[in-house]
Structure 1
Amino acid sequence: MKRKVFESLIDRYRQNKASANERRLIDHWYAELDKEDMPQYHVDENQIWGKIHRQIGNTPTKKMAFQKMLYWSGAVAACLLLCLSVLFWSRENDHAQSRKEVLLKPGFRIFETGVAQRKRVQLADGSTVILNARTKLKLDTVSFDRKDRIVELLAGEAFFDVKKDSTKAFIVNAQQIQTRVLGTSFTVKNYTGLDDISISVFTGKVQVSANSNPLGVLTRGEQIRYARNSTTSKRENFDLLTRNSWIEGRVYLKQSSFAELALAVRNIYGVELEAADNLISRQLYSMPLSRQLSWSATLESIQAIHHNKSRKEGNKVLIY
């Protein structure tokens, strides 16, 4: 009977059906509880119910007026309700705080490829990135796609096929260069062995900046080469058919520098190619490179273009 009175009072209080007198009694008990120290992490329900039972049991029910009985049962119900509320709030608060701390901590992921390796990465927003050999792409897994979609090309070359989202810009940071789009496809090349960083557009429009200074807006078939040392840029057209041939494992050099040649050789074969002098380093090369062709055959082709010779020195091949 005591438990039924107790449960009935709880139900009325939760459903906002308690009378003004009942609510006043419960509010009074709340005020008394504010003066006590409440356990924040552990509540012994058996101990609480024992206390309730003793308080109800010690009251002479035959002589107790209905209103007095209601007072005690209401007070006890409020006590239990408050204890359980404090326990629930404490645990939920701890969990919420824990979740908040996790969200605030940056979580970075590095996507990386080795020699002669290419990798396709699917981002959370639906965009696709294809990494060329010896490439590192950095992604903040916490902040990505919350406001803007920002990635960082630490080194190498990557083709971005960006899912259109007019509310969130897609931004690629590559040292001083920032490439900003809403939905398009383009390639960013940022190899440390080259003097410049290049951005080449295949579809849509791309806005390019260097240290927050606008370099221009590129459309299909256009690219910008930004010189790291001189901080100058050059805008030009490129061959749409051969620019991204590396995705299929081939590279087509067209009047390319020795540095471009050495980069392609290292990416495909893992061989360090070095010019013996400035004359060699200023030579231009037009030729295809493919993993399907052996390194010895490729080296013969490289030598034949300018009638050069080669020799191996440690881990390097010297062209002279």
Structure 2
Amino acid sequence: MSQKKFEELFESYLQNNLSDAEQQQMMEIIQQGAYDDFLKGKIHDMLKVGNVTDVMDKKQSDDVLNYILSQPQNEPKVVDLNPKRRRKVVLQSLFAAASIALLIALGNSLFFKQETVLPATPKLLEVVAKNTLIDFSGKQLVHLPDGSTVLLNDNSTLKYDQDSFDSKTREVTLTGEAFFDIKHNPQKPFIVHTGKIQTRVLGTAFNINAKNSSDNVEVTVARGKVQVGDTEKIYGVIIPNQQIKVNKTTLNYQQNTISAAVVTEWKSNYLILDDINMAEAVSLISQKYKVQILISNEKIKNCRITASFLNEEDLDHVLKVISSVLETEYRYNKAGAVILDGKGCE
């Protein structure tokens, strides 16, 4: 279904003009995750203008939320969708729909309890207007405004001020654990704050473990150089496969040689396809699930994908989501290899 037709279908749903069969069809499309960006924008706009009760009732929001969070049962191993057109693909997995779920949940708590909402006082509005912090929580891939990426581990948070970030410096605050891949910019240092400890880089890849359950902050370099210190002194500058461990209380530190691959092994549970072509995506999927994937049409390799699978999804779930958005089909041959068929992209 095209983006335009889905938008028309969703608008009809909001106006209660769909039959039961049409409503079921819409929910199944939502569950596939193909239109997450549209839904997030739509719900965000409704929350922003404060007229959610006029547009979507509580039952509608609950229905959408349940379909986003539900997991289809008895999924067939072969997904057959007739390709309609060639296009560049940007895929958001079903897990990415969790952000929509949060928006809907927020809408329920703010707008569905009562029809009349008391106006906020001018003083409260002033406080809200000054809050420019961006906050990310839980395992997810975060794209920062400068093009850098941060992969957050479970029970972790990342914050930054959207007004000051990427002005003279690029500064964020981390609790928990994350892997940073930072765009090189010698004019604007990237600084990670973990309590009193500061990690400073220009452009590199590194892991920081600052979990509350540990007495230490551990900074490990995978690529480039990283400077670790506090406001008064520099503890050291480390290169790939080196680590600086700092005690959070005493600020005593030590530098060690360690395998960055071992430290970042937690990332192996995640499958990140960050704006890559299908040739690269197939390689990553094959490596993770230890399966051979064959592409029947070379044009499929031209399609680009952005997807994050962070809940240890099985192979069939990943293939079904990808195939539904690429408008292709997949099947298994007798040898157990996956065959991916479709028109592909120009």
Larger Rg: 1
Task: Give the shorter-chain TM-score range.
Answer: 0.3 to 0.5
More strand by share: 1
With the length of structure 1 as denominator, give the TM-score of the two structures.
0.43
**TM-score, length basis structure 2:** 0.40
